[in-house]
Structure 1
Amino acid sequence: MATVEPQEGPRHVAIIMDGNGRWAQAKGRPRLFGHHAGARRVKEIVRACKPLGVKYLTIFAFSTENWKRTQSEVSGLMSLFRQYIRKEMRGLKAEGVRVRFIGDRVKLDKKLIALMDELEAATAGNDEVHLTIALNYGGRDEVARATQRLARDVASGKLAPDDVDEETLPKYLDTRVLPDPDLVIRTSGEARISNFLLWQSAYAEYEFINTLWPDFSEDEFRKVVGAYGKRKRRFGSVPA
């Protein structure tokens, strides 16, 4: 019986960056200290993508459920996002990184939204690495919002009900211009997907890593990406 050949490296990697708070608490520091360390780690991982052949990187920065955290932590995170954009905008543009944001922006601070728009516009011409930041994002929320947009097009006559199939909905998702992720990584030892890219990750490979996000080094990232190439992906079929 023929075997399925191993795959090349992943083109699109998505990461659930978990463990910042626990990392800080283990050091006797406040949780926001861990989030700042995690933001620095993002920069290193983004730079590691191009040499590894990773064209698209999507990171889970803040979920629709994260509003349940303490007001001080949420406020600190929003301040961190603003700082990150201001500090990294020039470097991301110079290094050829195109940045996009996905998620529902309605609840976000207007100053933060303006910075997000500015960063997207400043990097729109880049094509070395496509960095997508999921901010106030939830997979179920995304599908609900996409369905609303689709329903409005059906109601207006732009789309016939019988024309709606599994190829239609992705055109209404936040990620409509992106390929589906090949590999999803979650750090910190938790083995769940936490409402992240539910539709898009139907055939993604998953890696659950024990390392807390601030300690997830370029070397470990390289190993995980390299291991992906040894997997056999059948997409529901069997070898001929």
Structure 2
Amino acid sequence: MLRWVRRQLETAYERQLRRSVSGAPAHVAVIQDGNRRYASKQGGEASDGHREGAKTTERVLDWCDEIGVEELTLYTFSTENFERPDHEREALFDLLENKLYEFADAERVHDSGVCIRAIGDVQQLPPRVREAIDYAERQTGDYDNFVLNIALAYGGRNELLGAARDVAREVESGNLDPADISVETIESRLYARPLRDVDLIIRTGGDERTSNFLPWHANGNEAAVFFCTPYWPEFSKIDFLRAVRTYESRAQSFRQAKVQRALALVRAVGGVELDEARSVLHKFAEYVPDSATVEEIEGGDERQTTK
């Protein structure tokens, strides 16, 4: 009886959360932490936790599709993971190989136009995993409705270091002028196909750190971050919707801060300078809360500055 009541309450809460979500982050990045701890809690092997985590990944793909997320990046295997025991590492490679082939052939992937690609130093991976990556990327490379990035043999510092070395070599060879180095210069050397800036990072398992994940695309974009305690196999739709709500709250706060800075500028000037200040405020029109128009804010502010 108590279990039934709990399920009903969770269902009602999930519906409430879904109604409260008005938009979606374009790019969500997930640190899938806690697979091994989940398995230990269940009395199983680490491989059991990874298999259960793979099921969560499939559910998250459905949730992203439901609310309109356009890109999902999964931190699946870090460079530090190579230090795990051989038997655990090989079991994880088996799972990765099987899932890559399975996803590449899945009807849902092709029906939804999902592009699968790997990011990271994949040359460190065993040949069988690299072959599975090549297969998945070939099978889905022409799609662009949704992008699924799988971070394998990934390290954010190594990624930036590699791009910096490429740029340095081109400058040294005379093929690149230092004055021409731009954001696009770096981004073009990170991946063959560009990633969107990350809007939301989710980390499961209780740790509150981003573990060097996508530093260029997340930190540079001031991505919202959502930490939660459930292990990855336990991550639920309620947790996912709460993460999206965190992103929306962060985005709204960011918009309001821009509006307030613009209004402070208007309040700080008067007379002939007011027209110039108004033109600045109009540039922030997209950040004005829905409950007020730029003209209303200007009118109220003009009354304040001419008292």
- Give the TM-score normalised by structure 1: 0.91
Q: Which residue of 1 aligns with 2:174?
A: 157
The answer to whether structure 1 residue 195 and structure 2 residue 192 are counterparts is no
Q: 1:236 to 1:150 in 2, by over 3 A?
A: farther
**Percent identity (aligned):** 38
Q: Unmatched 5+ residue regions in structure 2?
A: 1-21, 263-307
* Aligned equivalent of 1:233, options 254, 266, 273: 254
Distance between the aligned counterparts of 2:194 and 2:182, measured in 1?
Answer: 18
Report the residue type matching 1:204 in the other structure: A
Unaligned runs of 5+ in 1: 1-6
Aligned pairs for 1:37-186 (under 5 A) are 37-91=52-106, 92-174=109-191, 177-186=194-203
Distance in 2 between the 1:70 and 1:115 partners? Answer: 23
Select 2:26's aligned residue among 5, 8, 11: 11
Which structure carries more helix by proportion?
2
Runs of 4+ in 1 over 6 A off after TM superposition: none
| Offset at residue 236 of structure 1 (A) | 8.7
Contact 1:103 1:174 survives alignment (8 Å):
no
Paired residues, number: 235
TM-score normalised according to structure 2 size: 0.72
The aligned amino acid for 2:36 is G
> Which amino acid in structure 2 is aligned with residue 98 of structure 1?
C
Q: Conserved in 2, the CA contact under 8 Å of 1:170 and 1:176?
A: no
Determine which structure has greater relative contact order: mean sequence separation of CA pairs < 8 Å that are 6+ residues apart, divided by chain length: 1
Structure-2 separation of matches of 1:236 and 1:74: 46
CA separation of 1:8 and 1:165: change in aligned 2, threshold 3 A: same
Is the CA contact (8 Å cut-off) linking 2:27 and 2:72 kept in structure 1?
yes
Q: Which residue of 2 aligns with 1:3?
A: none
For 1:168, what is the secondary structure of its paired residue?
A: helix
Cα distance, 1:175 vs. partner?
Answer: 7.4
* Structure (1 or 2) with the larger CA radius of gyration: 2
**Which is worse superposed, 223-232 or 142-151?**
223-232
